Amino acid sequence: MRIGELAKRTGVSVRALRYYEEKGLLWPDRTPGGYRVFADSDVHRVAHVRTLLAAGLRMELIRKILSCLSGDSLLLDDCRGRLEGERRRITADIDRLVHTRSLLDDLLATTRAETAAAADADHAVPSVAVDP
């Protein structure tokens, strides 16, 4: 399939697909006229790239991981180590985000309580002193 069809099937722009090729994530064949020709398996490869990018991985690491997924690497233990390292990094990022969310929840609860108390004070009926 040509690059336009791959873009359509993956929902990824032609520009992004060219960038993936530049970074060594895709290796299309070329026609004698120079047109890129992609394999059906490239649809799955692009899906893997998008997932790994969404997880926050860098292009260089994605390239290495994709070689593990495709079986192109003889260093499977090295691939496993890289994947475990990225998993640890992502877990640490999640832990930090959960902690930050907890702090924000506490701040929001405090500001809600203060806002509610201020609103109650604004709506309170003032007491009027009566002279006997």
* CA dist., res. 116 & res. 110, Å (int): 10
Question: 1-73, what's its fold?
Answer: Multidrug-efflux Transporter Regulator; Chain: A; Domain 2 (1.10.1660)
* CA dist., res. 95 & res. 101, Å (int): 10
Residue 35, pLDDT score? 93
Residue 127, pLDDT score? 57
Of 68, 9, 4, nearest in space to 36 by CA: 4
Q: What are phi and psi of 23, to 5 degrees?
A: -85, 0
Amino acid occupying residue 13: S
Radius of gyration of the CA atoms of the chain, in A: 28
Residue 66, pLDDT score? 82
- Per-residue tens of pLDDT for the chain, all 132 residues: 999 999 999 999 999 999 999 999 999 999 999 999 999 999 999 999 999 899 888 898 888 888 777 655 455 667 778 788 888 988 999 999 999 999 999 999 988 877 766 666 666 555 555 555
Which tokens is 121 given? Answer: 């004070």
Amino acid occupying residue 121: A
